[in-house]
Structure 1
Amino acid sequence: MKINKTLRVNAPAARVWEILYTNYGDACDWASTVNESKERMVAGSEYVGRTCSTVFGDVSEIIDRVDEDSMELQYHLDDTPFIMKAATAKWKVEPLSTNTSSVTIDLDLTLATVPGLLMGWMIKPKMRKDIFRTMEDLKYYIETGKQSEAKVKSDAKYFRKKGKEAA
Structure 2
Amino acid sequence: MKNTVKNGVILLLIVVHSTFARAEVIKEKEPNVIATAETIINAPIKDVWSILAEDWAGIGKWSSGVSHSQGFGQPIGGSDYTIRACEITAAGFDDTKEQILEYDDQNYLLKYELADGLPGFVKDAINIWTLEETANGTLIKGKTTMRATGIMGVMMKGIMKGATRKALESMTRELKHYVETGELHPDKLASNKKVAKKEAKMRKKVAFVDVQQEIDAPAERVWEIIGTNFANIADSNPDCPYSEWADGYHKAEVGAKRIMYMTDSRDKKYFVDEIAKYDPANYHITIEITNKKGFGTLNINYTWVNMDVEKISENKTLLKIRFHYLTKPKFLKGLAKGSMRKGFQKYAYGIDYHAETGELVTEKKWKAIKHLYK
The TM-score bracket by the shorter chain reads 0.7 to 0.9
> Taking CA–CA contacts closer than 8 Å with sequence separation of 6 or more, which of the two structures ends up with the larger relative contact order?
1
Structure 1 residues 156 and 82, CA gap change in structure 2 (3 angstroms): farther
Cα offset for 1:111?
4.1
Mean Cα deviation higher: 77-86 or 128-137: 77-86
Aligned partner of 2:192 in structure 1 is 155
Answering whether residue 73 of structure 2 is matched by residue 36 of structure 1, we say no
SS in 2 for 1:57: coil
Cα offset for 1:57?
2.4
Cα offset for 1:110?
3.2
Cα offset for 1:115?
4.8
Aligned partner of 1:131 in structure 2 is 168
Mean Cα deviation higher: 152-161 or 52-61: 152-161
Residues 116-138 of structure 1 deviation map (CA, whole Å, 9 limit, x = unaligned): 45555544423321221111001
TM-score (norm 2): 0.41
Aligned partner of 2:221 in structure 1 is none
Aligned partner of 2:105 in structure 1 is 68
Aligned residue pairs, count: 165
For structure 2, the residue ranges without an aligned partner over 5 or more in a row are: 1-32, 206-374
Aligned partner of 1:107 in structure 2 is 144
Contact 2:37 2:165 in 1 (8 A): no
What is the distance in 2 between the residues matched to 1:154 and 1:110?
A: 29
Aligned partner of 2:126 in structure 1 is 88
Answering whether residue 59 of structure 2 is matched by residue 27 of structure 1, we say yes
For structure 1, the residue ranges without an aligned partner over 5 or more in a row are: none
Give the greater-gyration-radius structure (CA): 2
The one-letter amino acid paired with 2:124 is: A
Answering whether residue 46 of structure 2 is matched by residue 14 of structure 1, we say yes
What is the distance in 2 between the residues matched to 1:15 and 1:163?
A: 35
The one-letter amino acid paired with 1:48 is: T
SS in 2 for 1:129: helix
Structure 1 residues 122 and 65, CA gap change in structure 2 (3 angstroms): closer
Q: Which has the higher strand share?
A: 1
TM-score (norm 1): 0.86
The one-letter amino acid paired with 2:63 is: A
**Percent of aligned positions with the same letter in both sequences?**
27
Cα offset for 1:95?
1.1
SS in 2 for 1:26: helix
